[in-house]
Structures are given as structure tokens and as C-alpha cells.
Structure 1
Amino acid sequence: MSTGTLTPAPAPAHRDGPAPGAHTPWGHALRTAVLAAIAVCIVLLAFAWPGVTAKVQNLPVAAVGTPEQVAQVASKAPGGALDVRRAASRDEAVELIRTKEAYGAVILGNAPEVFIASAASPAAAQFLTQVGQQMQSQIQAQVIARPQDALGQAAQHAAQGSAPAAPQSPAPQQAPQAATPTVTVTDVVPLSPDDPRGAGLAVAGLPLAMGGMIGGVLISLLVSGTWRRLGAIAAYGVLAGLGLAGILQGWFHILQGSFWANAGAIGLGVVATAAIIVGLNALLGRAGIALGAVITLFVGNPLSSLTQPKEFLPAPWGDVGQWLVPGASGTLLRDLSYFPEASALFPWLVLVGWAVVGAVLIAVGHFRNEPAVAEV
């Protein structure tokens, strides 16, 4: 009977080394949880910070009146809320509003008025309406105080032991007492009747930003080749501009003015966002897509000032937001719809600049990663 050679049992795997199919180490799991918690906090800060820190401040407003009256308006504004600039006439004040150099105006004198522009900012219009109500309350308080002033003078004479001056014989025809002035609030540039509170224009900013991101991600993942990617971005901008303008203007009637100008502005905004995401992806890989999303969604959109004037944000973030695609797109659409007399050159240049930067990144990323591949 032969004895077979015994096969030694396999040695157990080393306990310190990761075996195939082993669970994720606790350290890595905890690090992932910490990163996720930090990301959630950043998202909350990005969307909540502008609303929490914003306050009524430095609001450009025109005023028509004497230098003393204009200075009084500025001094009575709480905490530097108004940046008052004097206008020579009522017409000049209206012109400042229509060119977006002022959010409203205060007309002083015998016929006081307050001009607002709800299309520029519903929040600013609401604040200026409250200013008009305060002016009316002050006027009524002054009217009520006039008889009290007369009684006070009589009491002063009595305290001094002298009778007040005898009134002159009443004139046979005494002028009647002037009526109390009424402060009129006029909306110089109102919003569309289909969007009376401006909610549609404010909410449209997020879908426009998301639209550029969706196009950029899909083109990054599904299209290769520099020229093909640029062509896809351009085609996407044309189609998305026409489609979104058709919904916002043709269906919901949120946008006003020229349909083709609005479609061009939307398309250029979508192209700028998509180009940046595709360019960062070409340069950095998948991390570039995440970086592009952060710039657009978590930085650009909260600072876009679509729901409030940029002056209400802590300096300099309101101005910074206008240099990013969401802020420039929102400002451009507002100008094209409601302020045709205002200069829209700056937002056009911002969108073109981002689109060009994205195209350059696409080319640089392609030739850096594939130097030996000749594109057909």
C-alpha cells in the first residue's frame, strides 16, 4: 500500500493585507462620510448665504428737488440703504431708470412721487414703495402738527404774562387751506402681466444653468475630437436657445422684446457653460466636470442677483456674480426684455469671453492628452 504525498494546506492570507472582495477599511469609510458632510455644508452655504447676508444697501435712486431736499432723503434712509443721486427733472429721473442707472426715483415738492421699476428688481420696488408710504406718513404728521404749533405759541405767550398779538381783522376773502399732498407711486418699467412678481424670470436662472451643464456633461462623455465637440456645443446652443426662448417667451410670456435676441442670449449662455465644462473635462478629466459644475451651480447661480439687486450682496460678491455666466445671462435677458435703452455690452462680452475660454481649454486639453493623434 503506497503512501501518497500529502499536499500542504494553503497558507491563510495575511490579516493586514486586503483580501479579494474585502470590505472597505473603516478609515476610508469615515473619510468618505466626512467629505460628504463637507460637501453638503458647502451646498447649503452656496444657496443660503446670499439670501441670509443680503440687506438693503447702496441702492441707486434718483431724486428731484432742491439740494437740501435731496440731502434730507439720503439722511433719512436707514443705514445707507439708498445711494441718492440728484436729477435735474422728472424726465431725467425716468431716463436714469430706463437706462438702469437707478432702480427708482423720488420726486419732491408740492406733488411728491415715487418711481419704481419692478422689472429691474421686485425687491427694490417693494422697498421704494415703503419709502413712499413713509413719506406720506411724514406729510400727514406735519399737517396734524400745524394746529398744535399755534396752540404752543399761545401757551408760550400766556406763560410770559403777555397776551398774544391780536389777530388782524379777518380778510373778507381768505384763501382755503391747501389739501394734504398725496405721494403717488408709479411703476415706470413694470413686469410682464404674465409674471407680475418676477418669479418666472428669477426661477428661470437655475434651468438655464442646468441646461448648460447637461449639455456640457453629455458632450464630454459622448463626443470625442476637438472640432466635433465644438460643433456639438454650437449646435446645442442654437437648439437650446430656440427651445428655451420658445418656452419662456412664446409659452409662459416671461420674456419680452425680440424673440431672436432672447434666443441668442440664451443660446450664448448655454454655449458658454457647456464649453467651460467640456474644456475642463478635456484638461482635467472627470474632475473637470465637477469643477465646472461647482463654478456654474454653486458659485455663479447664487451670485447671479436674479432675485435681488447686486448691491444688496456683501461687496464685492454682487459684482463678481456679474462676471460669471449665470449672472451675465440673467442680466442680459432682463435688459433685452425690459430695458432696451440700457447698454447690454458688458453681459454680451462676458458670455463671449467664457465661450472663448472654453474653446481654448478644449483645444489645449486635446493636444496635450493626444499629441500624436491626428484628427480626421
Structure 2
Amino acid sequence: MSQSPAARPHTRWGRTIGIALGAALIVGVLLLAFTWPAKTSTVHNIPLAVSGPTAQVAAITEALEAEGTFTVAPATDRADAVAQIESRDVYGAIVLSAPPEVLTASANGAALSQIFQAVALQVQSQANQAAAAGAAAAGQPAPPAVTVSVTDVVPLAATDARGAGLASAAFPLALGGMLGGVLVSLLVVGTWRRLFALGAYTILASCLIVAVMQGWYGALQGDAVLNLLAIALALLGTSSLIVGLNAAIGTAGIGVGAVITLFVANPISAAAQPLQFLPEPWGAVGQWFVPGASVSLLRDLSYFPAADALFPWLVLVGWASAGVVLAMIGHFRNQEVVHVEGALETDVVRAA
């Protein structure tokens, strides 16, 4: 029979203080995990293509790379620059034609669109200054002002004009994977039953997410089947890791899996901003984890079908496979423990 609250002994003061400090520490870690990317983000090494006359391309490349904001790649012409943007080799381009033009892709995020708007103004100012200086040197009147247009070659869908829906998908995917892994670990007994539960959960949850994110909200574009497969792998990658760690090292594995997902992988996933905005090398490192790979893959599937998406597919398959392998290792380890314990009990009985 349980004791009434009044009859229970009071918690020792040392334990009380320790619990308070631990809870405060957890809040601090949560705060750092979710605010650190925004606090430390800087604009650097954004891939940009430039096409035009050789001398002009060399001059603007030197100026842009000196700032450290951009990494410049050459483009033979406007069509080549567009192709590089569509394959996500670069995020934008400067076409030094007459008049100059800046190409961007709002599907990469609002922050990048704003940056390329500023680039257009900078190119426009430099072009007008150069034209005015040339005319003055030749003793001619100033030419008409040059206007640099900005063309969005990969725009966001009208159903997600700000890109908020796609960016916000990362945290629910991470949390959903954690929730599935924790519930299966705690409520389902038996390795094969756990794997079946993971599969059933992954399929059902993925169908629901696609129905809402693509069918209702319109945040996802492209092939719904491919989007469903990507989301299923993302959920399975996180949930199977938690189940596998639980099977391999015990209940502590649930906490380890949650920490990896929530405190390590999610903050460096580059879901809300380009990976180049994060301190190096954490943006690139984040793409090796499920949250980063899943967001990049869904963006490619929705807006950049020409991009090489092999890497994020492999990352998601790798994490899902690792979780299943860990679950199987835990299964065979537990079987051996049961056999050893059974043999010991038999020997004791015989000895008696």
C-alpha cells in the first residue's frame, strides 16, 4: 500500500538543490541548442555563378571573393547559370549582359533572396559608376542609368510563398521520429514486434504528413510518392536509432538517441537558413544527420529535381539501417544472456 504524501519522508536538502540545479541546467542547454544557430550565423561562402566578358567576370569575382560572402563559379552564359541554380550547384548568378541581370531562387529561402536583391543593387551601382567614368573620360555626356533586374528562376509555390511551411517541417519530423522510437521502446516487447511497429508507424505517419504538408498546406511540391519515401526514411532513421540504442545498451539508449536528435542534429540541420550561414564546419556536419539530410532532400524533391540528391538519400538510409542493426544486435545479445542465465540455473538445480 502506497504511503500518503504526509507520511512520506521529506527529500533531503542536498537532493532538492541538485534537482533544482539539474532542471536549470537542462533549460540552459535547451536555450543554447535552439538559439545558438541564429546567434552565431554569418553570411559566408555562398555559391554564386558569374557569366559575361572575361575581364568583367575577373573583376567582379575578385571583388566578391575578397568580401568572403561568396564563392564564385564561372558560367558560360545565362542558360548555364540557370542550369547551375536549378541543380543547386550555386544559389544565384550575376549575368553581365547589357543590361546586367541577377538570377536568384527564392526556393532556397527568403534570406538568400534578400542577399541577391542587395547584390543587384551593388552591381547596378558599379555599372552606373563605370559607365559615367567612361563617358567623362571620353568627354561625352553621362549615359542613361542602368537598371539591373532580378529574376527568380526557381520561385516558391504560391501555396507556400514565404517558404515557412517547408522550413518548419524539420522539427516535427525530428520530434515525430523521437516520439515513435520512445513509444515503441517502452510499450512494445519483442524485437520483431518492435520492428513491425516501427514499420507500421513510419508508413502511417508518413502518409499523414504528406497528406497535410502537400495535400492540404501545399508546402511540399513534386512527386508525392518520393516525398512520402523521404519522410518515411527520416522518421525511421530517428525512431529506429532510439529503439536500437534501447535494445543495445538499455533504457539509457532512449536518452542517448533523443540527445543526438534534439541537441546535436537539429540545431545544425540548416532547416531555417542555408548551411553556409552556420559556423564552419557545422553546416556541412549537420547534413550527415537525419534532420539536415531530410530537409535538404525535401527541398530538392520539391523545387530542384535536377539537383544531385544521392547524398541525403544515403544518409537517411544509413541511419535507418544503423537503427535496425542495433536492434538486432540487442536482440541476439539478450538471447545469449537468457541462454547463459538458463544454463546457470540448470547447473544450480543439478548441483542441489
Give, in whole Å, the separation in 1 of the partners of 2:250 and 2:18: 23
Q: Distance in 2 between matches of 1:56 and 1:338?
A: 23
Displacement of 1:180 in angstroms is 2.7
Question: Alignment partner of 1:260: what SS?
Answer: helix
Contact kept? 2:131, 2:143, Cα under 8 Å: no
Q: 1:71 to 1:54 in 2, by over 3 A?
A: farther
1:44 aligns with 2:23: no
Secondary structure at the aligned position of 2:269 is classed as coil
For 2:19, give the aligned amino acid: T
In the TM superposition, residue 181 of structure 1 has moved relative to its aligned partner by 2.4
Q: What residue number does 2:157 align with? A: 192
- Contact persistence 2:221–2:303 (CA under 8 A): yes
Partner of 1:94: 82
- Whether the 8 Å contact between 1:216 and 1:274 is mirrored in structure 2 is yes
Q: For 2:40 and 2:34, locate their aligned partners in 1 and report how far apart those are by CA, in whole Å.
A: 11
**Would the aligned equivalents of 2:132 and 2:143 in 1 still touch at CA under 8 Å?**
no
8 Å CA contact 1:123, 1:307 repeated in 2:
no
Which of 212, 219, 231 is the matching residue for 1:266?
A: 231
* Cα shift readout 1:34-82 (whole Å, capped 9, x = no counterpart): 2222222111111111111111100000000233322322333373000
Give 2:301's aligned residue: 336
Choose which of 60, 69, 88 in structure 1 pairs with 2:56: 69
| Aligned partners of 2:135 and 2:143 also within 8 Å | no
Supply the distance in 2 between the matched residues of 1:91 and 1:50 (Cα, whole angstroms). 35
Kindly indicate whether the alpha-carbon contact (under 8 Å) linking 1:70 and 1:84 is maintained by their aligned counterparts in 2. no
* Corresponding residue number in structure 1 for 2:16: 29
Gaps of 5+ in 1: 1-19, 152-174
- The alignment covers a number of residue pairs equal to 332
> In the alignment, which residue of structure 1 is the partner of 2:342?
none
TM-score, normalising length: structure 1:
0.83
Aligned match of 2:332: 367
- Answer yes or no: is 1:301 the counterpart of 2:289: no
**Which one-letter code corresponds to 1:213 in the other structure?**
M
Residues 118-267 of structure 1 aligned to structure 2 (within 5 Å): 118-142=106-130, 179-267=144-232
Partner of 2:318: 353
Amino acid aligned to 2:16: A
How far apart are the structure 2 equivalents of 1:334 and 1:88?
27
244-253 vs 290-299, which moves further: 290-299
Of 103, 110, 118, which aligns to 1:115? 103
Contact 1:118–1:189 (8 Å) recurs in 2: yes
CA distance in 2, matches of 1:338, 1:121: 11
How many percent of aligned residue pairs carry the same amino acid?
52
8 Å CA contact 2:214, 2:221 repeated in 1: yes
C-alpha distance in structure 2 between counterparts of 1:82 and 1:192, whole Å: 27
SS in 2 for 1:60: strand
**Offset at 1:233?**
0.7
Task: Provide Cα deviations, 1:258-279, integer angstroms capped at 9, x if missing partner.
Answer: 1111011111111111100111
Q: Does 1:103 align with 2:91?
A: yes
**TM superposition shift of 1:344:** 1.0
| Paired amino acid for 1:100 | R
> Which structure shows the bigger proportion of residues in helix conformation?
2
Tell me if structure 1 keeps the 8 A contact 2:242–2:257: yes
Match of 1:59 in 2: 46
Amino acid at match of 2:216: W
Larger Rg: 1 or 2?
A: 1
Hey, what's the Cα distance between the residues in 2 that align with 1:265 and 1:236? 15
2:58 corresponds to which letter in structure 1? Answer: A
* Structure 1 residue 302, shift from structure 2 partner: 1.4
- Distance (whole Å) between structure 1 residues aligned to residue 51 and residue 40 of structure 2: 31
Q: Normalising by structure 2, report the TM-score.
A: 0.88
Partner letter of residue 345 of structure 1?
L
Structure 2 CA distance for aligned equivalents of residues 71 and 44 of structure 1: 44
Letter in 2 for 1:220: S
What is the CA–CA distance in structure 1 between the aligned matches of 2:219 and 2:149, rounded to whole Å?
27
CA contact (8 A) 1:280 1:289 kept: yes
* RMSD (Å), alpha carbons: 2.1
Q: Deviations over 1:306-332 (max 9, x none)?
A: 111111211110111000000111011
